[in-house]
């Protein structure tokens, strides 16, 4: 459930720019609001790290290093 995942990540760090989708999408969509002041590589990396930690705690397999590499590769190309 995306809303529960976001709530757990925000409990660890309320400053993260994370929002679960509304209505029917609240169970399946997570939005990283990385625009304006939050349009930083750090905001995206912090959000992914927090989501990865919550998923790991829930017993899911995650690859945080792959996520970091993807952000670094993408961020340097824009």
Does 19 have pLDDT greater than 90? yes
Whole-number Å distance between alpha carbons of 13 and 69: 22
- The pLDDT tens digits of the residues spanning 55-74 come to 999 999 999 999 999 999 98
The pTM for the full model equals 0.85
Q: Which residues have CB under 8 Å from 71's CB, separation 6+?
A: 41, 44, 45, 48
Rounded alpha-carbon distances, angstroms, from residue 47 to 12, 13, 72: 11, 9, 14
Inform me whether the pLDDT recorded for 78 exceeds 70: no
Residue 51 has pLDDT above 90, yes or no: yes
Tallying the residues shown for the chain, one arrives at: 78
Please write the tens of the pLDDT for every residue from 28-41: 999 998 788 778 88
């Amino acid at each position: 459930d995306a809303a529960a995942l976001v709530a757990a990540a925000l409990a660890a760090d309320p400053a993260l720019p994370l929002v679960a989708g509304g209505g029917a999408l609240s169970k399946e969509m997570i939005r990283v609001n990385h625009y304006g002041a939050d349009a930083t590589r750090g905001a995206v990396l912090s959000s992914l790290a927090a989501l990865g930690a919550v998923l790991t705690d829930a017993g899911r397999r995650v690859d945080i290093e792959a996520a970091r590499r993807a952000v670094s590769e993408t961020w340097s190309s824009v």
